[in-house]
Structure 1
Amino acid sequence: MSLSADSPITILYVDDEPGLLIIGKTHLEKSGNLKVEACESALDAIKLLKIQSYDAIISDFRMPKCDGISFLKYLRKRGDETPFIILTGKGREDVVIDALNNGADFYIEKGGDLKAQFAELINIIRYAVAKRRSEEALRESEERYRNVVEDQTELICRFSADGTVIFANDAYCRYFGVPCEDIIGRRFKPQIHPDDREAVTRLFASFSPDKLLESIDQRTIAPDGSILWQRWDTRAIFDENGVIREFQSVGRDITDRKQAEQALIESERQYRSLFESMHDGYAQFRLPQEDDGSASAPRIININPAFEQITGLAREDIIHKTLQEVLRGTDLRWGPECLKTTETGEPQVFEITLDDPVRFFEVSVYSPRAGECAILFHDITEKKKRDEEMKQSLREKEILLKEIHHRVKNNMQVISSLLMLQKETIPDPKMRELFSQSESRVYSIALVHEKLYQSENLSRIEYGEYLSMMGDYILSSRQVKSGTVALDIHAPGIYLSIDKAVPLSLITNELMTNSLKHAFPNGRKGTIRIVVERKEDTIIYRFSDDGIGFPADLDYGNTQTLGMQLVVSLVNQLLGTITLSREKGTAFEIVFPVDPDGEESGGSYEEKVDQNAGLQNK
Structure 2
Amino acid sequence: MTPPRPLSRLLNRVILLWLVLPGLFAIFILGVFGLHRMIDNFASDSKVFASSIVRYVEVYLDDAFSHLEAVETQYAALSKGSDKLPLSMLSFDPHFHKIMLVNEQGRIQASSPSGDEGEHFGLDFDAGGADRLILSRPVPSQETGSLVLYIGRRIEGGLLLAGELDLEAFQRHLSALLVPGKGSLIITDAFGNLITHPDMRRVMTQDNIGGDALFRKADQGGQLILARDQHSRSLLVASAWPTSLTGWRIFLIKPLADVAKPAFMFLGALLAAVLLFFCALALFLRLSLNRHIVLPLASFAEAMRSLARGEQETSTPHQASSRELLRVFYSFRAMALRVRKRERELTTSRERFRQLVENMEEIFSIMELPSGKLTYVSPAVKQVLGPNFAKLGMRPWDCLDMVHHEDAQRLRNSLERSGWMGVQIEEEFRVIQPPHGEARWMRLRAYPVRDGSGKVGSLVGFLQDITDKRRMDEALRHMVRATAAPVGEEFFAAMAQHLAEALETSHALIGTYTDTPPTCAMPLAFWGRGRPLRKEEYSLQDTPCGLVAQQGVALVQSGLSEAFPRARTLQNEHLESFLGVTLHDSHGKPIGHIAVMDDKPLLDEARARSVLTIFSARVASEIERRAALSSMEASLAEKEILLKEVHHRVKNNLQVVSSLMSLQASSKGNPELTALLTESRNRVQAMALVHEEIYKSTDLARIDLSRYLRHLLNILLANMSNGRAVTLRLDIQDISLPVNLAVPCGLIINELFTNALKHAFANHDLGEVRIDMSRNEDGLVTLTLRDDGVGFPPDLDFRATETLGMQLVVSLVRQLDGSIDLLPGPGTAFAIRFQAGQAVVEQPLGPLDN
Q: Give the TM-score normalised by the residue count of structure 2.
A: 0.35
Q: Give the TM-score normalised by the residue count of structure 1.
A: 0.47
Name which one, 1 or 2, has greater alpha-carbon Rg: 2
Greater relative contact order, per chain length (Cα 8 Å cut-off, separation 6+): 1
